[in-house]
Structure 1
Amino acid sequence: MLHPSENSYHGRTSTNQEYWHERIRQTNISALDKIEAGKKPALLGFCSDTGIERNQGRIGAKNGPDTIRQALGPLAYHARFEHIQDFGNCWDHDGNLEEGHDELYGHIYSLLAHNYFPVIFGGGHDLAYPHGKAVIDHCLAKNEKVGIINLDAHLDLRTLANDQGHSGSPFFQLAEAYGKDFHYCCLGMQPASNPTTLLTYAKKIGAHLIDIIDFQLENWNEIQDQLEHFCSDKNKLYLSIDLDGFSSAYAPGVSAPSPLGFSPVLVMKVIDWLLASKKMISLDIVELNPIFDQDNCTAKLAARLVEYSVRKM
């Protein structure tokens, strides 16, 4: 089952609906066919720690989606859409991650079919597997080529654990499932967080990687060139943002914090570039762990990235 999250949005009131919490319309996804179609964002959460636990990470991300909503509610609203649909949360059914992934896949595929722009809140990065499946299947049905861009310290190309997917394996699962139709770019990858076996596999599948040393604001012109090289022959793009790719100075509330990492300003420039291409059709923000956050700064960062992306659409 999937229900809108109640009481997640708060903020000051205004006479002209000037804040996000006043523009949210919480709707059950069963009513999707009754809502006016059109290319606009739709929010959806996946509440799960199972994939992170399987990957030996710090649990707590299951509360990420509603924590992002709480940080999003008070922000000033400047997007062009009259309202934003929030279809609530789904989850992993008491640890049955595969069943949860199947449900999430179906919901995202339906949103894409109704011409929505899915914005998915995590939860662990394992959700990129059903999210990626939905985007690739949707595009392959239209003979379109999809590029997946992952902003992350980790490649997330690990093999399965006990024949089960986890937060470190989503792009491995997609690569194995789609072969030549899987096109992957990882920005901000940290070699210290990725053993040689993962780098070897990335080379085998033709992944495009930009090391954290090169993924810096002062190198923006080179980053643009590499984005153009990767995206030029793609019809559509799906962006996945793992909050643990940011420096822990910006994002302490994650499963795997790092003192190194990229900056919010650089990520916003990447979002700008991708949206300007008119190819980006889907987005997720994952790995927020409120248990380890400090002054809600990681949650506020996630909310600002959502606000910025929607405002720039």
Structure 2
Amino acid sequence: MSHQNPNPSLWSGRKSETIEYWHQATISVNDLKVDNNEETPKVGILGYAGEEGVKRNQGRLGTAEAPNAIRKNLGTLAFHLPEKSRIFDYGDVTTQNGDLESSHELITETVFNLLETKHFPILLGGGHDLALAHGRGVYKYLAPKNQKLGIINLDAHFDLRPTLDGKGHSGSPFLQLAQENPHAFQYLCLGIQRSVNPKSLFATADKVGAKWMVMEDFRMNNWEVIQEKILWFLDSVNKVYLTVDMDGFASAFAPGVSAPSPMGFRPEFAFKVFELLASSKKLISLDVVEMNPSFDHDQATARLAARCAEYVARKVLGKV
């Protein structure tokens, strides 16, 4: 079985008589029994405790421990979602015996079920191969509705590398999604660093019709241009799946990642992008990936990943 039930003890923090913190609003759900109460605004948390994709991509191992590290920090955050909203923790999908593909199938089905039951899914990773499974679930949900999906990736890497002997990995998810959805693939990657993306990947990005902004241009003093590019992209799609690779942040803020870089973006700038996306009311799903507790300092990266999840949920559900 590639699913582990949630550990309620991870959700702890300050005590109060009313719900004031995330740990008090979070309900642990066993056996992926998805809540189907459509009247309650809700977040569905699913961890991806897997690093087979990172291993295949020759990355630093340790990402399998990320979901619980992020949960611990999420639980202590103040709760500012609508009063009746709830957070459901559906546990972790793991990878058994290197069978990445089976764990991906379970993630895809779970994401589809979460969207069908009016959750805002927040997936915690784990390698960025998670995006293949996550994206498949969102495409499956939107297909009968004839709605266009846009994928926005805050990342230092395109993750458009070819598969290895037909097998996916943490560097290939968006090429695989492009190949599976050749007429519906809309992809915007923000924060691309030329130093870690060879010319061949820029050529691949052109081939699949991807849009991007390199790190040199992805800065606060260029906000008007960035905002225009994002708004143009938003106008071309019906719904947006946002994926945040923690290695896109400068390593001063996110040291605990698989591929750190000193030249990434700053948190306050990323959060400005989150706010713009949430204000479009098109944001349908989120994942935070490539967090690696083995290399974290004072839980800095886990805290930042938790803040990303909390901020996006608050802006999407709370409208505040």
Q: Where on the TM-score scale, by shorter chain, does this alignment land: which range?
A: over 0.9
Query: Which ranges in structure 1 are unaligned for 5 or more consecutive residues?
Result: none
Query: Paired residue for 1:139?
Result: 142
Once the two structures are superposed, the pairs formed by residues 212-251 of structure 1 within 5 Å of their partners are: 212-251=215-254
Query: Which ranges in structure 2 are unaligned for 5 or more consecutive residues?
Result: none
Query: Paired residue for 2:18?
Result: 16
Does the CA-based 8 Å contact 2:124-2:288 persist in structure 1? yes
Match of 2:49 among 37, 40, 47: 47
Query: Paired residue for 1:274?
Result: 277
Q: How many residues align?
A: 313
Once residues 196 and 154 of structure 2 are traced to their aligned partners in structure 1, the CA distance between those partners, rounded to angstroms, is 14
Deviation, 1:25, is 0.7
Classify 1:150/1:197 alpha carbon distance in 2 versus 1 (closer, same or farther; 3 Å). Answer: same
- What amino acid is aligned across from residue 306 of structure 1 in structure 2? A
Classify 1:37/1:130 alpha carbon distance in 2 versus 1 (closer, same or farther; 3 Å). Answer: farther
Query: Paired residue for 2:114?
Result: 111
Once residues 167 and 7 of structure 2 are traced to their aligned partners in structure 1, the CA distance between those partners, rounded to angstroms, is 29
RMSD (CA atoms): 1.3
- What amino acid is aligned across from residue 47 of structure 1 in structure 2? A
1:308 aligns with 2:314: no
Which 4+ stretches in 1 moved above 6 angstroms?
none
Query: Paired residue for 1:62?
Result: 64
Deviation, 1:26, is 0.8
Once residues 236 and 36 of structure 1 are traced to their aligned partners in structure 2, the CA distance between those partners, rounded to angstroms, is 19
Once residues 142 and 2 of structure 1 are traced to their aligned partners in structure 2, the CA distance between those partners, rounded to angstroms, is 32
Deviation, 1:39, is 4.7
Does the CA-based 8 Å contact 2:153-2:245 persist in structure 1? yes
Classify 1:151/1:18 alpha carbon distance in 2 versus 1 (closer, same or farther; 3 Å). Answer: same
- What amino acid is aligned across from residue 205 of structure 1 in structure 2? V
Q: What do the CA deviations read for 1:82-139 (whole angstroms, capped 9, x no partner)? A: 3211111111123210000001111001111112111000000000001011111211
- What amino acid is aligned across from residue 70 of structure 1 in structure 2? K
With 88-97 and 31-40 compared, the bigger mean Cα shift is at: 31-40
- What amino acid is aligned across from residue 20 of structure 2 in structure 1? E
SS in 2 for 1:120: strand
Q: What do the CA deviations read for 1:121-179 (whole angstroms, capped 9, x no partner)? A: 00000000010111112112110001000000000000001221000000010011110
Once residues 24 and 203 of structure 1 are traced to their aligned partners in structure 2, the CA distance between those partners, rounded to angstroms, is 42
Query: Paired residue for 1:168?
Result: 171
Q: TM-score, normalised to structure 2's length?
A: 0.95
Classify 1:17/1:40 alpha carbon distance in 2 versus 1 (closer, same or farther; 3 Å). Answer: closer
Once residues 309 and 145 of structure 2 are traced to their aligned partners in structure 1, the CA distance between those partners, rounded to angstroms, is 28
Classify 1:303/1:145 alpha carbon distance in 2 versus 1 (closer, same or farther; 3 Å). Answer: same
Does the CA-based 8 Å contact 1:40-1:81 persist in structure 2? no
Deviation, 1:14, is 1.2
Query: Paired residue for 2:207?
Result: 204
Q: What do the CA deviations read for 1:186-236 (whole angstroms, capped 9, x no partner)? A: 000001110111100101111111010111112111111000111102000
Q: What do the CA deviations read for 1:33-64 (whole angstroms, capped 9, x no partner)? A: 55455553211101001000000000000000
Query: Paired residue for 2:133?
Result: 130
Query: Identity of aligned pairs, percent?
Result: 46
Once the two structures are superposed, the pairs formed by residues 67-78 of structure 1 within 5 Å of their partners are: 67-78=69-80
Query: Paired residue for 1:293?
Result: 296
